[in-house]
Amino acid sequence: MASPDDRLDPDLIKANLRTKRIGRKVLVYEQTASTNDVAAEYGRNPDNDGLVVFAEEQTAGRGRSGSKWLSRRGDSLLFSFVLTGGDLGGELLSLTCAVAVAEAIGQIGACPARIKWPNDIVVAGKKVAGILVESKVQRTLCRASSHGDPRRAATLAPPASAIHVVGIGINCHQTAEDFPPELRESAASLDLAGDARCHRATVARRVLTSLDHWLRVAERNSRQVTETWSRLSTQLGQRVTLSYNRRRFTGNCIGVDPEKGLILQLDRGGVRMFDAAHTSVVKE
Ligand code: BTN
């Protein structure tokens, strides 16, 4: 349960938030099914580019590959933001968000954070945050007017455009016992990893600021994103086994491509790239 001084309040999150895009509008729900769904609904209106939705509690939070994302009320930062304009493409967006969240978490307390591809954020080898990118092409609300002419209205079909929703879950106040036994070895929270109880609104501001910065960087210089990703990656230079389309691939991770994903030098010869949406890490 959130203590009064750790409540999530839109004004508190927005206080001193000097972002240009991410967090132009901030909403906080006491409870919702999934903040990704709420953000996607807002994303139907292009004016909501950069809008962020937080929830104290999710009743149907989801993670990658169809998994559930569970968190007790007030223990985490659970939020999603929507991008309705400027298309970075799924891979670069995913890498950029991972870099932004890792860098922000790394600035909090004594927690150097690293990235486990595609976008798990780990501190001392344990996952403290996860990122779920969901994209779809949809008809956005159309601002053009038909001037009352029904024949003209029929020809003004709303334009199709890609909207991206990025959902982020950051474990904040969990103790080891709060995680199910099968996750205790691999999951942690900011409080467990750092040396003090974190303040969620402060963490939120740092993460939004970092996302705003890195999304701008990505638009002009994707190389800066991939270089920073490489510096923060736990897997670069390591042997990993991936599952893609129900087939397994083992090899040495030699880098990441902003359009095609993780690059493996395969044990059986050849180099292959794997996109984040259809690939999961089986072993490393
Ligand atoms: C993962 O590591 O599998 C990704 C987890 C993403 C969880 C967040 S919590 C806020 C947002 N809403 C959701 O339903 N999921 C994301």
Give this prediction's pTM. 0.91
Select the more confidently predicted residue: 4 or 46. 46
Select the more confidently predicted residue: 111 or 242. 242
CA distance 245 to 136: 21
Contact 168, 80 (CB under 8 A): yes
The predicted pLDDT at position 161 comes to 77
Pocket around ligand 1: residues whose beta carbon is below 6 Å from it?
34-36, 58, 61-64, 67, 69, 78-80, 120, 130-132, 167-169
pLDDT digits (tens, 9 = 90+) for 34-73: 999 999 999 999 999 999 999 999 999 999 988 999 999 9
What mean pLDDT do residues 245-271 have?
Answer: 96
Answer whether residue 150 shows pLDDT above 70. Answer: no
Select the more confidently predicted residue: 110 or 281. 281
Answer whether residue 195 shows pLDDT above 90. Answer: no
What mean pLDDT do residues 116-125 have?
Answer: 94
The predicted pLDDT at position 141 comes to 56
The predicted pLDDT at position 89 comes to 82
Contact 36, 62 (CB under 8 A): yes
CA distance 11 to 55: 15
The predicted pLDDT at position 156 comes to 58
The predicted pLDDT at position 65 comes to 86
Confidence of residue 180 (pLDDT cuts 50, 70, 90): very high
Contact 171, 189 (CB under 8 A): yes
CA distance 241 to 251: 7
Span from the CA of 103 to the centroid of ligand 1 (angstroms) = 19
Best residue among 32, 42, 68, 78 to mutate for probing ligand 1's pocket (most ligand atoms within 8 Å of CB) is 78
Beta-strand pair 52-55/26-29: parallel
The partner residues of 162 in beta bridges, in order of sequence, read 137
Residue nearest to atom 7 of ligand 1 (CA): 169
The predicted pLDDT at position 87 comes to 75
Span from the CA of 41 to the centroid of ligand 1 (angstroms) = 17
- Max CA distance (Å), the chain: 66
What mean pLDDT do residues 159-183 have?
Answer: 92
What mean pLDDT do residues 148-165 have?
Answer: 66
Span from the CA of 267 to the centroid of ligand 1 (angstroms) = 33
Span from the CA of 70 to the centroid of ligand 1 (angstroms) = 9
Residue nearest to atom 14 of ligand 1 (CA): 61
Residue nearest to atom 16 of ligand 1 (CA): 167
